[in-house]
Chain A
Amino acid sequence: MSFFSVSAIGQIESALYPNFDHLYCKYNFKYGPDWVIVNGLEDGLTQMSRTSTSATFSQAMYSSGTFSRTCVWNFPIDVSFKSTNAFGWPQLVVCVYGLDELGRDVVRGYGAVRLPMTPGRHVLYIPTVVPLATSPFHELLSWITGRLPEYLDHNFIAQAKGREVTRVKSQGALKVVVDIATKDIEKFGLQVSSKK
């Protein structure tokens, strides 16, 4: 049975949402039909975390450089895939939820990122988006009832089809640090980097 393996070892480190607090994250992996998870959890749920009380300047790419509070999860990710085909390279899909002022669970962002292909350590910033309500009235109604618009299938953010009719608002970002290791990928004739 000839296949190549890819391992991702790392953590969902933190979230940067300037206006929101009490956040937790659900993550899962989305991959093509030729991929199989060998080891590790395919999905998971982090703890709910609160931002630190001291305001600090954030160094993240998508912050406007003003006071931004980081919400730290430090959630470990350890998963191995095997595959015969590079098509459908796995993506890490994240959904961030939080508590609003009245203590209800609302969605704060959806995001997805491809696992890097080159072996080594990578720091990834995932910008997240939230679907927009269809009209200002619906937006007010959803804020009152605490039911912000959500995606029916949270993997929607990781697929290409059907997104042309959606309107989203981008807010916040996640920081993920991951180490990638590959095995036998050269035997498949695939080159992942230009260095030999």
Chain B
Amino acid sequence: MAEVFCIGTILGASGFPKPELCAKFAFVAGDGWDIIEGEDSGQTQVDVPGEDDRYTVWSHPVDVHYTTKTIAGWPKLIFQVYHQDMFGRNELYGYGFVHVPTTPGTHHLDVVTWRPAGSFTDQVWAYFLGATPQLKSLDLIHNPSDRFRLQTVAMGKYIYN
């Protein structure tokens, strides 16, 4: 039985067209992995940057304690980034994922995200209404475009018995 602690912070985002963003995240792990303590999913706050438009700050703490009997299905962290405008409408800005590092220690992870482009009509709709096409199932990848960046800091620790 091995235990893995994933302790870290989702720092923020940069590189998106507009900086008023929030992110929904979840840990996805194989069948042999069980969570003992901590929440494996959540949503960050919406940040409207004050002075520095290049960086969206979330500082969302993440603390998950896994046990596992197998290496298969090593946890990964998936993200959906949404933009919230001043009227409170949410527009999907990107999907992304990153594997939890397999070595113990402190790691700084950058997550690139992408957004489904859809057909030409979809893009026209998206420009006027802010309604971009979204994935029905998060496991599918289809016609992606536009790559932007998220940053997380993971401090992982491992126990081996």
Binding site for B on A (CB under 8 A): 18-19, 32, 62-64, 85-89, 91, 111-114, 116-118, 126-130, 132, 157-161, 163-164, 166-172, 188-194
Contacts and interface: CB of A to CB of B under 8 A. Distances in A.
B43 A163 contact: yes
Given A89-B63, A114-B7, 7 more contacts: A19-B51, A111-B59, A114-B61, A116-B106, A168-B47, A170-B52, A171-B50
Contacts of B38: 87
Contact of A169 (B12, B50, B59): B50
Contacts of A62: 52, 55
Nearest to B64: A87
A8 to B, nearest CB: 14
Given A164-B44, A170-B52, A190 B157 contact: yes
A62 B5 CA distance: 29
A167 B48 contact: yes
Contacts of B43: 163-164
A80 B100 CA distance: 29
Contact of A88 (B49, B63, B157, B159): B63
Interface of B: 5, 7-9, 12, 22, 24, 36-39, 42-52, 54-57, 59-63, 65, 84, 103-106, 155, 157-161
Contact of A113 (B39, B59, B157): B59
A191 B8 contact: no
A171 B47 CA distance: 10
Contacts of A32: 63
6 contacts: A91-B61, A117-B105, A129-B45, A164-B45, A169-B50, A192-B157
A163 B39 CA distance: 13
A167 B54 CA distance: 18
Given A86-B5, A114-B7, A129-B57, A64 B51 contact: yes
A117 to B, nearest CB: 5
B12 A161 contact: no
Contacts of A117: 7, 105-106, 155, 157
